[in-house]
A and B are shown apart, each in its own frame.
Chain A
Amino acid sequence: MDMSKYKSLFMSDTTEHLDALEADLVQIERDPADKSRINEVFRHMHSIKGMAGSMGYDEMARLAHRLEDMMIPHRQHEKPLSGDEIDLLLRGLDEFRNQLDQVRDGKVPRPAHEDLLVAADKILRGAQLQAPPAGEPPGEPEGECRAVDGTMPVFKIELVISAQSGTPAVRAFLAYRRLSETGKVIEVVPGLAQLRSGHLEGRLVRFRLATDRGLAEIKRVFNTLVEVERFVVEPEDAPADREQTLFEKARSPLKTGRQKSDTVRVQTELLDFFVDSIGELITLRSHFEQLAERIEAPTLREGVRRLGKVVRRLHDRVMEIRMVPISLLTQRLPRVCRDIARSRGKQVQFEVEGENAELDRALVEALDTPILHLLRNAVDHGIETPDQRRRGGKSPLGKIKLAVKRSAERFEIVLSDDGGGIDAGLVLSRAAEMNIPMSENPSPSEALAMIFRPGFSTRTGATEISGRGVGLDAVKMEVERMGGRVSVRSEPGLGTSFVLDLPLTLAILQVLLVESGGVLLALPASRVLKVTAIDEGRKIASHGSDGSTIDPLIDLAELLGGVPAGQRQSEGEEALSESVVIEQDGQAALALAVQHVAGHVEVVLKGVGSLLARLGPFNGTTVLGDGRPVLLLDVDAVITRAHSAMREKPNGS
């Protein structure tokens, strides 16, 4: 049978087992005698072994087999797992993940590190030495010789199990059991205990059976068994000629009707295809809508409106299908936390809140790296060593919490620690050392925000944990690419919280289209407070919202590096006719002067490559109904840029 087409299913099933295994192991570390979890670990190993074996990934199956064997005494005798054993199982888990990566790359998994297998064997041998002798269960119909019912004829049976059988002892045991259904087995050679131990020398087993069913019935037993090389049945004494009491077992009446499964598994690529297609449908609907407006066709407009409703419904349901619990992301975090804490000599308790919240699969995947990075940071830089914590009057056990909160439109992920907090002063002096541009008198929150600047680090030597991979600037970029925002709050001595504010789905966004400098641009509608005539915008700009923040009226085109307003004004006065007031943290932050506002549309957002992101404050692209491409403005980046432009030119435009 061609197994290659099962590869993706194998990958996803195995990954699920590994993720669950990881969660179980981290729990077992807290409670090494947790019987149900120990059973679960056994079950996962067992499943992985079976699946890997079927795929022909023998090395993976071999490792699973060893680790499964290691669990047996713990299951049977409810023996707690030792720290070494848990470590070994965790190492095995990492090995499985490596092997799975090799499968993903189209290779056959390589053997696990020999020392891993050796260590498993060592533990296994130790366990066997200590294990109580395998006694027979009480009441076992054991005995090479049992009481003979003198009235029944006795048959001597010799059975040879085929050499192809991988389990000759079990085959022999099954034969014993089947024979027992036809009569009384009065002797088994070698004994039942021998069969039960799983060993059968020479593949030969002998029975003595007392039965009144006759020869044919006994032969039928062997004819309905597999892996039988040969068998001989002969009456011990000349059997009395008696009528065979063959009886047919009545079959239960057949029930008609097929059972249908409630759920099916769907390739995620297929879901992505649905989302893309619905995106195109939405774009086309916008196009027809505009067309209906232009040719003033009320019937067409009504039809398009109805079409829009159906498409919207379809979109909502497909998005629902794409929702997965965020636990897919969070379940491996306790392990990550444990490993880092262990290597850094710290004590950390990690907690997740709201992990049942469901989010778009694409978001959950995209969040993986940023969350992992923030967690690493929290353990490495946030939580102090137990000594430092004691000196600070805290419990030596640090706490890190990941909380997921979902509202109708957005969701928020907060990663907080009760560590030492971030020293804003230190951040400022580091930023100055590194020549990172900043304002004259930065507020504490502005100072903290410096940690998201590219290349920023308060450490001189990179630590093993946080020194590799992405910096906080990469976290910020990744989150913004998803249409989200990241911020940080910190209280020195009390701890730090990183807040990720994200949209529920990636794909669809309400935008305001504006024309600026002759170019069409999109602004996320959620960030637009109001659209006003240019003079109104000036008023807002001069008043400010609460006096403390500046919200200037600024020419968007100029801000983006276009032709300065003065020059353009000579080209035509209609250049700046409207202003768009955008918000930050719920307050008016900036009024952007634009040529005109072109309308409010729903667009399907596509990511923006990192190259394009460097060109300017953009974090997405989209294609309009008529095929025109539009760049989506990154509102926060626009505000930052405007503020620094204002500082350079205090009089504004």
Chain B
Amino acid sequence: MAARVLIVDDAVFMRNTLKEIFTAQGFEIGGEAANGVEAVEKYRELKPEITTMDIVMPFKNGIEATREILKEDPNATIVICSALGQESLVMEAIEAGATDFIVKPFKAENVTQVVKKAMAARR
């Protein structure tokens, strides 16, 4: 069964980019969330194998959402999506328990490599 991905990003554009990458690699898009609050709700509902998490989002940022998701499900595999120049935020997310991170702009091969390894790490 294909692994299901929950894509969290406030930009539709980014979500679509990731969707295309994941779909091409045979992942199943389990759902999408546009902010941290939605992310926590969708995670609870879907229990996806993998979650990609943007950091800077309205209502609740990706770091807080990561923290909350992991509190409920310590096995959650969360990959942070960051931009160059966000090193300190990414490290904050890693401390919160994120499994790995990818840096925008995304390259399909990098994304899938990180995601597959992150899943292996949490197995």
| B residues near A3, Cβ cutoff 8 Å | 17
Binary interface profile of A, 230-254, with partner B (CB < 8 Å = 1, else 0)?
0000000000000000001111111
Which B residue's beta carbon lies closest to that of A40? B58
- Beta-carbon contact of A50 and B83 below 8 Å: yes
Q: Are B47 and A166 in contact (CB under 8 A)?
A: no
Instruction: Tell me whether A252 and B16 are in contact in the complex, defined as CB-CB below 8 angstroms, given that A50-B11, A174-B101, A224-B118 are known contacts.
Output: no
Give the docked Cα–Cα distance between A55 and B13 (Å): 10
* A195 CA / B42 CA spacing, docked (Å): 33
Interface residues of A in 1-43 (CB under 8 A from B): 1, 3, 6, 9-10, 13, 40, 42-43
Within residues 45 to 92 of chain B, which ones have a CB less than 8 A from any CB in chain A? 45-47, 49, 56-58, 73, 75, 83-88, 90-91
Known contacts A167-B87, A226-B114; decide if A54 and B106 are in contact (CB<8 Å).
yes
Partner-binding segment picked from A255-263, A344-352, A529-537: A255-263
User: A6 and B13 in contact (CB under 8 A), knowing A54-B105, A170-B94, A250-B75?
Assistant: yes
Q: Could you give, for residues 25-54 of chain B, a 1 whenever the CB lies within 8 Å of some chain A CB and a 0 otherwise?
A: 000101110000000001001110100000
Tell me which of A54, A223, A265 has the highest count of chain B C-beta atoms within 10 A of its own C-beta.
A54
Enumerate chain A residues within 8 angstroms of B56, measured Cβ to Cβ: 42-43, 46-47
Most A C-beta atoms less than 10 A away, residue of B42, B105, B113, B117: B105
Given contacts A54-B14, A249-B122, A259-B46, contact A65 B84 (CB under 8 A): yes
From known contacts A248-B123, A254-B47, infer whether A173 and B91 are also in contact, taking CB-CB under 8 Å: yes
Q: Is the CB of A51 within 8 A of B84?
A: no
Complex CA–CA separation, A177 to B95 (angstroms): 7
- Give min CB distance, A162 to chain B, whole Å: 11
Chain B CB within 8 A of A169 CB: yes
Task: Give the residue name and chain of the B residue nearest to A180 (CB).
Answer: B95
Cβ of B46 and Cβ of A1 under 8 Å apart?
Answer: no
**Chain A: CB-nearest residue to B83:** A50
B94 and A53 contacting across the interface, CB-CB below 8 Å: no
User: Do B73 and A225 touch across chains, with their CB atoms under 8 A apart?
Assistant: no
Known: A56-B105, A255-B47. A170 touches B91 (CB 8 A): yes
B100 and A170 form a contact (CB under 8 A): no
Give bound CA distance, A225 to B56, whole Å. Answer: 24
Q: Which of A249-289 contact B (CB under 8 A)?
A: 249-255, 258-259, 261, 265
Taking CB atoms, residues of chain A closer than 8 Å to B83 are 46, 49-50, 53, 65
How many angstroms from the CA of A55 to the CA of B105 in the assembled complex? Answer: 8
Residues 45-79 of A contacting B (Cβ, < 8 Å): 46-47, 49-51, 53-56, 65, 68-69
A489 within 8 A of B: no
Q: How far is the CA of A187 from the CA of B104 in the complex (A)?
A: 31
Are B103 and A13 interface neighbours, CB within 8 A? no
Residue of A nearest to B117 (CB): A224
Within 8 Å CB of B45, what residues of A? 255, 259
Instruction: Evaluate whether A259 and B100 lie within 8 angstroms (CB atoms) in the complex, with A47-B10, A178-B121, A224-B120 already known.
Output: no
Measured in the bound complex, the distance between the Cα atoms of B123 and A224 in whole Å is 10
**Distance in Å from the Cβ of A144 to the closest Cβ of chain B?**
18
Q: Contacts of B110 on A, CB cut-off 8 Å?
A: 226
Task: List, in ascending order, chain B residues with CB within 8 A of A254's CB.
Answer: 1, 4, 47
| Cβ of B116 to closest chain A Cβ, rounded Å | 9
A198 at interface by CB-CB < 8 Å: yes
A49 → chain B, closest Cβ, in Å?
6
In chain A, what residue has the closest Cβ to B104?
A50
- Other-chain residue from A6, A68, A221 in contact with B121 (beta carbon distance below 8 A): A221
Task: Assess whether A196 is interfacial by the CB under 8 Å rule.
Answer: yes
Q: How far apart sit A55 and B31, CA to CA, in the bound complex (Å)?
A: 24
Give chain A's interface residue range (CB within 8 Å of chain B): 35 or more
Q: Is A249 a contact partner of B123 (Cβ separation < 8 A)?
A: yes
Within the complex, which residue of B21, B91, B103, B113 is in contact with A1, where a contact is CB–CB below 8 Å? B21
B88–A51 CB distance below 8 A: no
Contact A252:B47 (CB < 8 A) given known A1-B20, A196-B91: yes
Contact A169 B30 (CB under 8 A): no
Residues of the A chain whose Cβ atoms lie less than 8 Å from the Cβ of B104:
50, 53-54
Residue in B closest to A14 when the chains form the complex, CB atoms: B13
Q: Evaluate contact between A174 and B100: CB separation under 8 angstroms.
A: yes
Whether B117 contacts A226 by the Cβ 8 Å rule is yes
- Chain B residues in 8 Å Cβ range of A196: 88, 91
CB neighbours of A42 from chain B (8 A): 56
Neighbour of A170 across the interface among B14, B57, B90, CB < 8 A? B90
Q: Give every chain A residue within 8 A of B16 (Cβ-Cβ).
A: 6, 9
- Residues 213-232 of A at the B interface (beta carbon under 8 Å): 220-221, 223-226
List residues of chain A with CB within 8 A of the CB of B57. 43
Whether the Cβ atoms of B47 and A65 lie closer than 8 Å is no
Kindly name the residue among B45, B104, B110 whose own CB sees the greatest number of chain A CB atoms within 10 A.
B104
Considering the chains assembled together, what is the distance between the CA atoms of A13 and B17 in angstroms?
13
Q: How far is the CA of A224 from the CA of B117 in the complex (A)?
A: 5
Which residues of A are found within 8 Å of B108, using beta-carbon distances? 1
CB contact list, B2-19 vs A, under 8 A: 4, 10-14, 16-17
Question: Which chain A residues lie closer than 8 Å to B87 at the CB level?
Answer: 167, 169-170, 198
How far, in angstroms, from A43 to B120 measured CA to CA in the complex? 32
Complexed CA–CA distance, A485 and B94 (Å): 60
Distance in angstroms from B27 CB to nearest chain A CB is: 13
Identity of the chain A residue whose Cβ is nearest the Cβ of B55 in the assembled complex: A46
Task: Select which of B32, B46, B88 is within 8 A of A198 by beta carbon.
Answer: B88
Verify B103–A166 contact, CB threshold 8 A.
Answer: yes
Chain A residue numbers with a CB within 8 Å of B118 are 224
Question: Which of B16, B28, B32, B56 neighbours the largest number of chain A CB atoms within 10 Å of its CB?
Answer: B56
What residues on B are CB-neighbors of A178 within 8 Å?
121
* Bound-complex Cα distance A261 to B110 (A): 27
Residues of B within 8 A of A (CB): 1, 4, 10-14, 16-17, 20-21, 28, 30-32, 42, 45-47, 49, 56-58, 73, 75, 83-88, 90-91, 94-95, 100-101, 103-106, 108, 110, 113-114, 117-118, 120-123
With A1-B17, A50-B14, A252-B73 given, name 9 new contacts (CB 8 A): A49-B83, A50-B104, A69-B85, A170-B87, A170-B94, A170-B101, A224-B120, A255-B46, A259-B46
A interface residues (Cβ-Cβ under 8 A, vs B): 1, 3, 6, 9-10, 13, 40, 42-43, 46-47, 49-51, 53-56, 65, 68-69, 166-167, 169-170, 173-174, 177-178, 195-196, 198, 220-221, 223-226, 248-255, 258-259, 261, 265
| Interface pairs (29), CB distance under 8 Å | A1-B21, A3-B17, A6-B13, A9-B16, A13-B11, A13-B13, A43-B58, A49-B83, A51-B11, A51-B13, A54-B17, A54-B104, A55-B105, A65-B83, A68-B85, A166-B84, A166-B103, A167-B90, A177-B95, A196-B88, A196-B91, A198-B87, A220-B121, A249-B123, A255-B47, A258-B28, A258-B30, A259-B31, A259-B46
Closest A-B pairs by Cβ, 5 of them = A224-B121, A259-B31, A198-B87, A54-B105, A53-B105
